[in-house]
Chain A
């Protein structure tokens, strides 16, 4: 009789006499009969999913065999923290992605690829300019420090997540550049697999780095065999979509002259009888009398004039292959990406080498070296804190739609050379530079030594060096430049990181009685050092060299040099035990000591445990024809976050960028550099996860569901301080708590799976609910209509528009909900006017925005602010499908977000027919309140009461959307068997082909301050998105 580990007969097991074709099969009861050739024969027992077993006959006539389930040799290997597990061993929540070539081709970056493909993962973009940062949130907002991005691990190299950048080249001035970021140094086409570790039982092994989730990226390795060359070329063409529509020239004149008339002033523009237009001077008589001398204005549509079609070309070659002992994968390529704005581009060349060598039977060496060099030219984006005048995109939609208008010129540019002065968008295009060069190299050597049976020691050395410089120039056509005779700044970032992992691993699959045990323990060193410097100068006698002429400046600012160092020492361990692959438990523990905290607060301890039950291995499912997988998982763990500026516990003095003077001479000056918090310690996340994996028909249809509850406490936060606290803007502290809870589902279905025809469908959807937890140390106070412990986010801008916070963090409320004034349309008639109350002391009038008096005290002021929106999505999802028929394949991906609000800060300018020269959206003018338009949606022409500073719900828009993000079709060219070329493939694809949304900005997938968790869900002069089409060719030989 042949039975399994549970004494169940194995019907259909096969029995062979070794070395012969003599065989038999077990019957329904697991019984069998075989006649062997001699008494020394050896019987070989086989059953699918069980380990082969050989038994010598030795004259026995009855041989009963109990077969053991096969080690999961056929199961997919999943890369987990500091090791690998089989899929079956995993007890945590891990999304594994194995991208196809086509999917990678259509992804500009890793983040881009992940978008829509993993449940619980939310990707948003800071803008769509080449090189703009992208942010990834795993299972909601996890942290309120500057960095809530997941940890990236590329081939065992701990790669810092994205938000670090050079110091602002114009140090200390009123320049507040937003950081450029992204996972640089990795070409998406080299990706073999991506594992997204979402729950604590999976990420706790990364301890202090694990709380935002972990993204482990494995790049392609060579395989045994002859060298295989792959060459690909792809061109992509794009153009702007969802442009913001503003008034045309004629309507703009009507608007300008109307508001001037309402103010009792002379018009701004004069239209001659022949239809030509000039700026109005003195009087109509004067205009007519001097008609011949007065210059005419030429209408222009700045958007048409500025935006161009983008073009991007990618060339890539890879070679892979290897012998039994050596395997190599070498790739290199070049990508150039010219943006939709002239003079913007991103150009990257990269190189990657992966080498795996079996040094001898027991040792294996893995080597990786990759390098990339990129050059980037950016347009003027949103200042971090300043106003928005300095923004190219803003200029395009709000400049007066004429050439030659005074108001488009920088305020103080002298009148003498007006003819030669660039204006508005043109000045920003031609006379502003923002260049960045980046060199990044990732290297790793890993040695695995099987020094004893079941034991492996591995030493992994990973290094990541990043050099970046950024150079900014303001020329004489820009106000900032002309005030000082040209301004240029240059800054550098030199960042080196390394990690040393010492790990001993024990793996035993042959313990008696169905016990399987893996264990590992290790010691990790993880270090980062950063140097930043910058220099800037003004007053260039010659402008010709622009930023490169920095040596030619007449005045220099004090050179800035800053260094930081961070070290984490860790001990880690993991025990993974299972009984017959049926009952599984993973236990891990990590202790981290971080140099970012003072003695006594330095060590953090991060345990985690995960258990799973694989029901499909139980009797009652074992023989099921349909259910191939049914796994229940439960996990809990603690993770930490130590991501805060180093030395926050250390009282320091710095030399400020501007020093005191004595007479005219600079004198040595120092000022306190920080507000010390000696008690600063780890931010901790306690996360529970419960999940189910379900598969039928040999996992042709598989389904995963996870529910989680995350309690994040001792939140590390740069807490906004009142000015009376020593003038410090913010204080690094462990304050408050966040709770994220949610459920996520994903589904994969191979609906049709034939040789000629396959149809795959996948989808995922995630619901996350977020809540601000207990805010320790904060008293209960009033915030407008709300009462509770809480605090406001950071002010959106320091300039004239949106000079307030958009977000509030209130105990028991979702994090970062919008906080401002509720409005109730426009005061359209006398009755409404009678009910309206003064706003900030100003009596209402017909055509004003109707401000809601929340507390009924007869005035609208700060105390009437209330919650007016929620930037946290209700759910986000992705749906995709791929169909292959013979040589054709078709891929499609939709993604979407529902129930999310965005504060469209651009409306402050474009949705009000104010009293300035900015162009506006057509509706704001045509549907402005007028006595003859008493049902207006927009306030009267000339209204400027709440446009600039205050945040009202008129800016809050529903940003739900569904996007057809990707559609590609490829064709495998049929080749003769003996052709030199192995395969050739042509593909055409489109990205962002359709977008369904009510959002009126450029794109609802936007986060203008993705690096600042205290400014959430705000669209402030974001960069427009594009729709692109590409064609590509892949050849391998």
Chain B
């Protein structure tokens, strides 16, 4: 009678069923990317937490208030959701790796699937280590014996990331069978970023610059800049030749897949169909806009990046915003990159560009400047600037090609340039942290505080915050329930 007691789920698949066919394996790979794209990670939490805490954005949402003040609480709702979701993505990848490691498996997509799993795992750990520092490093599917892991030192986490990206480079195809899946060079692009991050800042190891360059050069020529900056954010023109890694979103149901469309699009605007509600929750800080506008007046990227001065309302009117309005909720510009005219109130088809080729060129410029000075670095940044000037109907004056800078000048400008080129694409936090606390203090905290202070004389009731001078903001706090539930972790990040 024991057989009678052998019940198997009828409406779930057995793990073994998934990994016996090529189609099944693809569903599991999609499962990894789903976890990365899901609301709790890139869909919502990444925007709700990382944008404001970068110090370049303001959020009017209650659940982001602490992050907006740069006083992130370990119980911040986005943080509490994002951390487990990141490990969920890692576990999904670990399961694919564990199930496909057997080289005798006769599945034609085995290598590509493994490549995707290593790639995705490395992408997530790379985010984790930069957000939190030392984190639990899990490279096998979670099981009973290893429910609790201590934090692994940063160097070891990076070693694993590099190892994974190197494996991904080997295994990923040159031409993926599915749109939106990374090519092998995506691994090189990320490796370049990993080494650059390791090399940067007062605590960095400059010897990594040459490895960064080596990896970045492998990517050169494998992707190309699209002709104009604006078309990068054309909703009908996704997964372009410039896209290296892009998370895919579509109208696939009645459950919200991403907050981006409704959270960046100003409320009651004509950018979405009339009855659809958007919130305009996350907005660039005033200085974020002003710095760019002052640096490059007439830069076509400004129009493609920001909604400023005013925007059209769904009822035909106009709403005035920064810099026309300085006060209150309207005293901010908005980000234009997540507009979605197909937004239906629930799902957006707007993809998330995790890494694109312009980033690699800017990295190369930065690396080359560090290694050999500005002379040989201009060629890379100027490619990006030239494309930026292209309006589609001719060339704008700004941003003009670079030349004649000192190495130090170049170093400062290139970091700003990254903000102008990629604002709102999720790089601000990383770029303002990897160069050390002094950089964060100057380029975020003081820049912001001095700016709103100067406005405050005119407008005494600004709805904005003064950022603290606190080096805890080099990292995010570990979520409170990770610490309370994981006996192997007792230590919060410094300052929290």
A: residues with CB less than 8 A from B are 172-173, 264-265, 412, 414, 416, 482-485, 487, 536-539, 553-558, 561-567, 569, 593-595, 599, 602, 646-647, 650-673, 675-679, 720-729, 731, 733, 778-779, 781-783, 791-792, 795, 798, 800, 803-804, 840-841, 862, 949
Contact = CB atoms under 8 A, between A and B. Distances in A.
A671 B92 contact: yes
A555 B251 contact: yes
Nearest to B83: A723
Contacts of B257: 658, 661
Given A722-B482, A723-B87, A651 B15 contact: yes
B203 interface: no
A724 B346 contact: no
Contact of B10 (A482, A563, A569, A678): A563
The range of chain B's interface size is 35 or more
B24 interface: yes
B487 A779 contact: yes
B28 A670 contact: yes
Given A412-B279, A569-B4, A660-B33, A536 B254 contact: yes
Nearest to B485: A722
Contact of B484 (A595, A731, A792): A792
Given A662-B180, A668-B30, A652 B14 contact: yes
Interface of B: 1-2, 4-15, 17-18, 23-24, 26-28, 30-31, 33-35, 37-38, 62-63, 71, 73-75, 77, 80, 83-92, 94-95, 135-136, 138, 141-144, 147-149, 178-180, 238-239, 248-257, 267-268, 275, 277, 279, 315, 344-347, 349, 461, 479-487, 489-490
Contact of B30 (A664, A667, A677): A667
A664 B349 contact: yes
Question: Which DSSP category, helix, strand, loop or mixed, fits chain A's interface?
Answer: loop
B479 to A, nearest CB: 6
7 contacts: A412-B277, A647-B9, A653-B13, A662-B178, A665-B252, A724-B148, A724-B149
A653 B17 contact: yes
B251 A416 contact: no
A-B pairs with lowest CB-CB distance, top 4: A727-B88, A723-B84, A661-B250, A726-B91
B485 A792 contact: yes
Contact of A659 (B13, B34, B256, B483): B34
A795 to B, nearest CB: 7
A566 to B, nearest CB: 7
Nearest to A948: B62
A664 B95 contact: no
Contacts of A563: 9-11
Contact of B253 (A557, A594, A673, A841): A557
Contact of A671 (B14, B35, B136, B484): B35
Contacts of A862: 74, 480
B344 A555 contact: yes
A556 B254 contact: yes
Contact of B345 (A539, A594, A663): A539
A671 B15 contact: no
B10 to A, nearest CB: 4
A837 to B, nearest CB: 17
Contacts of B252: 658-659, 661, 665-666
B7 A669 contact: no
A803 B63 CA distance: 11
A414 B268 contact: yes
A664 B13 contact: no
Nearest to B143: A676
Nearest to A556: B254
A264 B95 CA distance: 56
B88 A726 contact: yes
Nearest to A566: B7
A173 B17 CA distance: 28
A669 B268 CA distance: 35
B480 A722 contact: no
B27 A795 contact: no
A804 B74 CA distance: 11
A535 B143 CA distance: 33
Nearest to B128: A724
Contacts of B11: 561-563
B10 A565 contact: yes
Given A414-B268, A565-B7, A660 B248 contact: yes
Contact of B489 (A484, A652, A722): A722
Nearest to A565: B7
Given A661-B248, A662-B248, A722-B485, A727 B85 contact: yes
B481 A795 contact: yes
Contact of A949 (B15, B75, B86, B485): B75
B489 A669 contact: no
Nearest to A488: B254
B255 A172 contact: yes
A562 B6 CA distance: 18
Nearest to B15: A651
Contacts of B2: 593, 599, 602
Contacts of B6: 595, 599
Nearest to A916: B62
A949 B66 CA distance: 13
A382 B345 CA distance: 25
B221 to A, nearest CB: 26
A414 B143 CA distance: 50
Contacts of B35: 671, 727
B251 A664 contact: yes
Given A569-B1, A661-B252, 11 more contacts: A555-B251, A660-B34, A661-B250, A663-B180, A664-B349, A676-B143, A722-B147, A724-B148, A724-B489, A727-B88, A792-B481
B13 A723 contact: no
A264 B461 contact: yes
Given A555-B251, A646-B7, A721 B349 contact: no
B267 A653 contact: no
Nearest to A539: B344
Contacts of B23: 668
Contact of B138 (A264, A484, A726): A726
Given A593-B5, A650-B9, A662 B250 contact: yes
Contacts of A792: 481, 484-485
B92 A672 contact: yes
B117 to A, nearest CB: 13
A658 B188 CA distance: 31
B485 A662 contact: no
Q: Which of A555, A723, A841 is most buried by chain B, counting CB atoms within 10 A of its CB?
A: A723
Q: Which of B10, B86, B178 is most buried by chain A, counting CB atoms within 10 A of its CB?
A: B10
A1011 B94 CA distance: 34
A412 B138 contact: no
Contacts of B349: 661, 664
A482 B277 contact: yes
B59 to A, nearest CB: 14
Contacts of A665: 250, 252
A561 B8 CA distance: 16
A156 B35 CA distance: 48
B13 A652 contact: yes
B109 to A, nearest CB: 14
Contacts of A557: 253-255
A646 B5 CA distance: 11
A562 B80 CA distance: 29
Given A652-B13, A656-B34, A671-B31, A555 B253 contact: yes
Contacts of A567: 4-5, 7
Contacts of B461: 264-265
B34 A658 contact: yes
Contacts of A725: 87, 142, 147-148, 486
Contacts of A538: 254, 345-346
Nearest to A596: B7
A171 B483 CA distance: 30
A416 B317 CA distance: 13
Given A599-B6, A670-B24, A652 B31 contact: no
Nearest to B135: A724
